Structure 1
Amino acid sequence: MPEAGPAAGAGRGEAVLLTYDASAAEGFAGAIRTAAESWNDRVPEVRLQRARSGTEADIRIVATKGWPGAEPQGPSLGKGTVSIGRRALAQGHDAIRIVSHEFGHLLGLEDRQPGPCSSVMSGKSAGTACTNSYPSAAEIREVRGNFGSAAGSR
């Protein structure tokens, strides 16, 4: 499994700060902000935050014509590209859930398909009626484990 990334520079007990650039995801700022809050409100070891203008972000978010996806960058968690796929949106999948699911991949989680709506990592297998963007207790534990030692050791 990849290691928690050096993106934070956090001190002991502080969250690992992961910044995102959503400039190539026009029209999805609200969905991205809400998905980040879904993780921030539940996993104190990680803080997803919009990057300041002129700074290099850990996560790049783009809107594409195809399916959503996440492409990790290198061996560290928390770095990579999230694609908000318009094809899934056209089929009725929820934008906030899509972004939250793809953030989950960059936080070290795998797909859990098929799966219930209560699991954000069940993705499209939960169906278009599912709008849950909050990680389950098991998903929270896994991300906390992935980043807990990194947050506490800085």
Structure 2
Amino acid sequence: MAGKRLTAGVLVALAPLAAQLLVTPHAGAAAVTTLYYSSSDAADYVSQIDQAAANWNNAVSDVKLVKGSGGATIVVHETDDGQGSYTSTDGHGHGQVYIDKQQVAEGFDVTRIAAHELGHNLGLPDDYDGPCSELMSGHGPGTSCTNAVPDAGEAAQVTENFAGGFAPAAPRVAR
């Protein structure tokens, strides 16, 4: 009977260590880079922005976009200036995204716009000649294109871009 109690006691004592081993990445595992975004200045498009971030999170495992207003390095705004949606970014997780209400009124999908502009903040360039299946083809395929999910090549490029973690680069503007 004492042996059973000792075994049970050892198992109870080791349970926290076992749980830690299950959630601790092994030595060769890639670290996850967490980027915080805020959509508080884009009240009309919050759900679409959140969906765009979720699409990136589903496509890329080592970079996560997390909603948070304080300390956000990616801030999404809505504008009504008719200049089209665009991003001012360093291409490495710091940026200001502008979603143009007039572009939305023309029929462009808000979730696609948000996901495309977040892609610039993850270091991806425009490819307006690309097909609708490429998120970074942006407005190129026209208003009928509503794909807001990055393709495998775009996801792989983001993984490569953040292999060294989170470090700012030179600012640039992308549309």
TM-score normalised to the size of structure 1? 0.84
Q: Does residue 14 in structure 1 map to residue 52 in structure 2?
A: no
CA displacement, residues 90-135 of structure 1 (integer Å, 9 cap, x when unaligned): 1100000000000000100000011110000000011101110111
Unaligned segments of structure 1, at least 5 residues: 1-11
Q: Which runs of 4+ in 1 moved over 4 A?
A: none
1:92 aligns with 2:107: yes
Name the residue aligned to 1:26: 43
Gaps of 5+ in 2: 1-28, 167-175
1:39 maps to which residue? 56
Taking the aligned partners of 1:95 and 1:129, their CA distance within structure 2 comes to: 12
Higher gyration radius (CA): 2
Between Structure 1 and Structure 2, the one with more helix by share is 2
CA distance in 1, matches of 2:38, 2:149: 21
How many residue pairs match? The answer is 137
Aligned-partner residue type, residue 145 of structure 1: E
- The CA distance in 2 between the partners of 1:127 and 1:71, in whole Å, is 23
Residue 45 of structure 1, CA deviation: 1.3
Q: TM-score, normalised by structure 2?
A: 0.74
Code of the aligned partner of 1:148: A
Q: Which residue of 1 aligns with 2:122?
A: 107
User: Matches of 2:73 and 2:122 in 1, distance apart?
Assistant: 12
Is 1:49 aligned to 2:69, yes or no?
no
